[in-house]
Structure 1
Amino acid sequence: MQTSVLQAKSCAELFEEFKKERPDVRGEKLVFTGVGGRDVYNITAPFQDDGEWVIAGRVERRDSERSQVMFFVERHGQWQPRPNAPVFALQDPFVTFIRGELVFGGVEVYFDSSDEHYVTSWRTVFYRGPRVNELEPFAKGPLTMKDIRLAEIGDGRIGVFTRPMPVDDARAMIGYTEIGKLEELTEQVLETAPVLPDQFLKVEWGGANETHRLANGWIGVLGHIACMEEGNIRHYYPMTFALHPDTRKYTPIKLIASRDIFPDGPAKRADLEDVLFSGGLHRHEDGTATLYTGVNDAEAHRIVIEDPFLEYEQ
């Protein structure tokens, strides 16, 4: 397994590599009901809460960025709002479990008081609790920092992936640091996390979406890499890499899906027609995995692919 990044590859180069071994599979759209005609996208993978599978999803009108995060359960092939579950004024939810405790978060967005369509800033916020209905706030990230994710390592350590502010004209990077307990997750810790160099070109960007503790002690990272072409047309791809928390060595980024292996569907805007935002990954014992992803900022899909983390465990 290659364990060092010598030179960042562009989205275009990674996509060309992916096309050579593109899986002969097709994704499917998830159907959500009970949201008053609003879109549900940028979902988490299903997670267990009170004995049933639950999905957290971003819910909003097609013409707005004012979002709610709601929790859904599956009934007769459709996902509907979970009765009596809390609703958060957030975007892009994520979940993980740290020492048996549910950690939930999302992006808190601030709007101009005179223009509800104009975003002035944003930050990642965190909640914790034994179950969804007992979540309490406990931490927040620095202004403008998205894609902060935690990873339970063991040995009294918690890995923390960050997305620092741009430096030297870079769009975004991924940082990594560690804490000993959730109470140590502070803005200062997040702002000073060392950066993993050479993952993105300066004109491109990306971040972590979900972490997996692998069998050999590595941390598998599900994330996204993105670029923009003329006319502000965005391209987002699900990607993975792995990091060893002891050596801080990490593997090159690889793409695991592209928009054309999912069903056609609407987009929030014309510039978002090639956008997949990784939500979560369920690994299966047969060597496959189910990827859950937001699509075009308007829908949520899933697809069964080869488990992208298996090669990191070799």
Structure 2
Amino acid sequence: MTSLIKTEVKTCQELLLQYANTQGSTSDVQKIVFTEVEGKDVYNITAPFLDEGELVIAGRVEARDSEHSDIMFFIQRGGRWGVREGAPILHLQDPFYTRVAGELVLGGVEIYPHPEQRGALKWRTSFYRGATVASLKPFFKGPDGMKDIRPVELADGSIGVFTRPQGDKGGRGKIGYLRVASLDALTCEAIEAAPLLEGQFADGEWGGANEAHLLGNGLVGVLGHIACFDAQGDRHYYPMAFAFDPETERFSDMALIAVRAAFLPGPSKRPDLEDVVFSGGLVRNNDGTAVLYAGISDAEAQRIVIADPFDQYE
């Protein structure tokens, strides 16, 4: 098992160079085709998960010229993913899921009119839970202005929570962490007070956790993203991963696990979003590989087989 030794802050450019020098093989890259969405884009998807005996993908569905989106649920039919009949439609962006005490927990980003700036939007993370997709009910809303809140059930049954404050505490966005006894113990005050994982992001760059995996030895594998602007103001988002010890709160260096060029060519929502890969979910195989499901250029979804980024920590 690789030890969790954090070294120094690396910029996106330094991580790209490291990835170019050490990347493993990638294979089986595929576009994920969605139907029954009336010409809208589906991106920033979850990995497939089992619900009532069917594999289901939750995806962000929206028009190319809009930020107002729905989370919809899809099942596979003949190699394509069609809308699941009777499934709820949630007026949220960027779905994610986990399981806590056997219960499905699903969330996304809720946007709403900014209370102080006319014509602007604000956001928060909204959470639902239930035995199944059909029974999902809202149970918690995170602090105003915070995306990328990700819970994970730990080995002792308590809940680790990765946060992402922005502003005075987090700049453009940094990862924090807290631990609570149960989902019912979540509060906005506790989330806002969570200390940051110091030394992850260079000034002017940002990132967050997208999905947390409890590893066999009690560590947590974190799938996330790191992002930056270039000199022209274009955005660059890269999928990354690191390991976290919930007992000591030590963590490893992050490493990039894929780049846009590894995926198939395709459209982008805007020209400044061409180099965006948003980590949706990771399915770990038993052979040292994993399948990364990702949103591509804010316009479509793809999947790719990569080396399992968490194998080295187990």
- Specify if TM > 0.5: yes
Residue of structure 1 in register with 2:8 after alignment? 7
The superposition leaves residues 185-236 of structure 1 with CA deviations (integer Å, 9 ceiling, x where unpaired) of 1111110111100000111000000010111110000000000012220000
Residue of structure 2 in register with 1:300 after alignment? 301
Residue identity matched to 2:205: E
Q: 1:80 to 1:283 in 2, by over 3 A?
A: same
Is 1:22 aligned with 2:33?
A: no
Residue of structure 2 in register with 1:91 after alignment? 93
Residue of structure 2 in register with 1:138 after alignment? 139
The within-5 A match list for 1:230-269 is 230-269=231-270
SS in 2 for 1:79: strand
Q: Distance in 1 between matches of 2:102 and 2:181?
A: 15
Structure 1 range deviating more: 167-176 or 251-260: 167-176
The superposition leaves residues 93-132 of structure 1 with CA deviations (integer Å, 9 ceiling, x where unpaired) of 000000100000000011469x99x542000000010000
Conserved 8 A contact 1:280-1:292? yes
Residue identity matched to 2:61: V
RMSD: 1.6
Q: Distance in 1 between matches of 2:25 and 2:127?
A: 38
SS in 1 for 2:235: strand
Residue identity matched to 2:215: L
The superposition leaves residues 34-90 of structure 1 with CA deviations (integer Å, 9 ceiling, x where unpaired) of 000000000000001001100000000000001000000000000010000000110
Is 1:153 aligned with 2:154?
A: yes
Is 1:70 aligned with 2:72?
A: yes
Residue 167 of structure 1: how far off its partner (Å): 3.0
Residue identity matched to 1:18: Y
Q: Distance in 1 between matches of 2:196 and 2:215?
A: 22
SS in 1 for 2:154: strand
Residue 270 of structure 1: how far off its partner (Å): 0.3
Residue of structure 2 in register with 1:183 after alignment? 184
2:48 to 46, 49, 52: 46
Is 1:124 aligned with 2:152?
A: no
TM-score (norm 2): 0.96
Moved over 6 A (4+): none
Structure 1 range deviating more: 61-70 or 26-35: 26-35
The within-5 A match list for 1:205-224 is 205-224=206-225
Q: 1:78 to 1:312 in 2, by over 3 A?
A: same
Q: 1:119 to 1:47 in 2, by over 3 A?
A: farther
SS in 1 for 2:272: helix
Q: Distance in 2 between matches of 1:47 and 1:202?
A: 36
TM-score (norm 1): 0.96
SS in 2 for 1:154: coil
Conserved 8 A contact 2:109-2:126? yes
Conserved 8 A contact 2:155-2:214? no
Structure 1 range deviating more: 169-178 or 204-213: 169-178
Residue of structure 2 in register with 1:35 after alignment? 37
- Structure 2 segments unaligned to the other structure (5+ residues): none
2:110 to 108, 111, 114: 108
Q: Distance in 1 between matches of 2:143 and 2:217?
A: 32
The superposition leaves residues 146-190 of structure 1 with CA deviations (integer Å, 9 ceiling, x where unpaired) of 000011103231100000123368321100111111111111111
Residue identity matched to 1:286: D
- Structure 1 segments unaligned to the other structure (5+ residues): none
Residue identity matched to 2:295: G
Q: Distance in 2 between matches of 1:244 and 1:68?
A: 34
Residue identity matched to 2:51: D
Conserved 8 A contact 1:238-1:277? yes
Conserved 8 A contact 2:25-2:307? no
SS in 2 for 1:16: helix
Q: Percent identity?
A: 54
Q: Distance in 2 between matches of 1:9 and 1:19?
A: 14
Residue of structure 1 in register with 2:168 after alignment? 167
Residue of structure 2 in register with 1:311 after alignment? 312
